[in-house]
């Protein structure tokens, strides 16, 4: 299953819950871009320098644990990558072809065995175009900013809602306008607007979709 959409649409919460209900694995591909971005920041590398990024990638190992841990070169970076700065840097480095190629290869090898809920920006369009169920999850920018703010405000008391909205809008624009694998709804994806829906309601809507697909294919889930 592929779940795509902009920042703060609720993808992670919903994808984790759907994976749990179906007994599938959950793959947070944004965390993989964040882990690389974190390394680029630590190294002080130029995020627009494709050659430099290529060299960093050669010696980079990103792995996602079953308990949602994110491992970078053997170290647990699960908490460190969840800042707005790392998110912006992830959005920048993810525009480079060399980066997307490497991440897509890793994601396909992790998803090879099937039974996976993959969440990101290009899951249904590029990485897993053959996914059985595709979802494009969106919400108004204000709602998405509010969700991100509520998530992050506990960690950073200097953060404001206005800043978070600006951050979300800037990141979405970059993710939608990049040349390689831009964020867009796959033609065969179900569009869900979560602005006025609870996470549980979105999960139910997605499970309905899974059931109707399974019935089409003569199976029940």
CB nearer to ligand DC: pick between 39 and 171: 171
Report in angstroms how near the CB of residue 184 gets to ligand DC at its nearest.
12
Question: Could you say whether residue 91 binds ligand DC (CB under 6 A)?
Answer: yes
Question: Which secondary structure element, helix H or strand E, spans residue 63, and what is its range?
Answer: strand 62-64
Distance CA 213, CA 126 (A): 21
Q: Which of residues 101-120 bind ligand DC (CB under 6 A)?
A: 120
Could you list the beta-strand ranges (E) of 105-157: 116-120, 134-138
Long-range pairs for 56-59: beta carbons < 8 A, 24 or more residues apart? 57/98, 57/99, 57/102
CB nearer to ligand DC: pick between 138 and 175: 175
**Nearest C-alpha neighbor of 106 from the set 52, 31, 51, 1:** 31
Question: Could you say whether residue 138 binds ligand DC (CB under 6 A)?
Answer: no
- Out of 39, 171, 186, 192, the only residue in the binding site for ligand DC (CB under 6 A) is 171
- Out of 7, 17, 190, 206, the only residue in the binding site for ligand DC (CB under 6 A) is 7
Question: Could you say whether residue 94 binds ligand DC (CB under 6 A)?
Answer: yes
Binding range to ligand DC, per CB under 6 A, among 42-50, 52-60, 72-80, 87-95: 87-95
State the binding string over 41-80 for ligand DC (x if CB under 6 A, else -): ----------------------------------------
Answer yes or no: are the C-beta atoms of 135 and 3 closer than 8 Å.
yes
Answer yes or no: are the C-beta atoms of 103 and 56 closer than 8 Å.
no
Question: Could you say whether residue 167 binds ligand DC (CB under 6 A)?
Answer: no
Distance CA 12, CA 70 (A): 14
| Residue 72 structure tokens | 């970078």
- Out of 10, 30, 47, 84, the only residue in the binding site for ligand DC (CB under 6 A) is 30
CB nearer to ligand DC: pick between 87 and 111: 87
For 48, the 3-state DSSP assignment is: coil
Applying CB under 6 A, the residues found at the interface with ligand DC are: 7, 29-31, 33-34, 87, 90-91, 94, 120-122, 171, 175
């Amino acid at each position: 299953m592929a779940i795509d959409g902009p920042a703060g649409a609720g993808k992670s919460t919903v994808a984790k819950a759907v994976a749990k209900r179906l007994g599938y694995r959950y793959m947070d591909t944004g965390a993989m871009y964040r882990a690389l971005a974190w390394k680029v920041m630590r190294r002080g590398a130029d995020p627009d320098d494709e050659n430099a990024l290529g060299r960093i990638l050669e010696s980079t190992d990103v792995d996602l644990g079953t308990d949602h841990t994110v491992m970078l070169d053997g170290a647990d970076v699960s908490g460190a990558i969840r800042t707005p700065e790392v998110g912006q840097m992830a959005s920048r480095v993810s525009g480079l072809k060399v980066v997307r190629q490497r991440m897509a290869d890793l994601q396909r090898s992790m998803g090879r065995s099937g039974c996976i809920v993959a969440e990101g920006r290009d899951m249904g369009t590029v990485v897993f175009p053959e996914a059985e169920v595709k979802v494009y999850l969106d919400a108004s920018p204000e709602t998405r900013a509010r969700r991100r703010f509520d998530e992050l405000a506990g960690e950073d008391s200097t953060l404001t809602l206005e800043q978070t909205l600006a951050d979300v809008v800037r990141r979405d624009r970059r993710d939608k306008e990049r040349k390689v694998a831009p964020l867009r709804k796959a033609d065969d994806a179900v569009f869900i607007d979560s602005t006025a829906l609870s996470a549980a309601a979105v999960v139910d809507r997605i499970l309905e979709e899974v059931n109707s697909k399974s019935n089409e294919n003569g199976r029940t889930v």
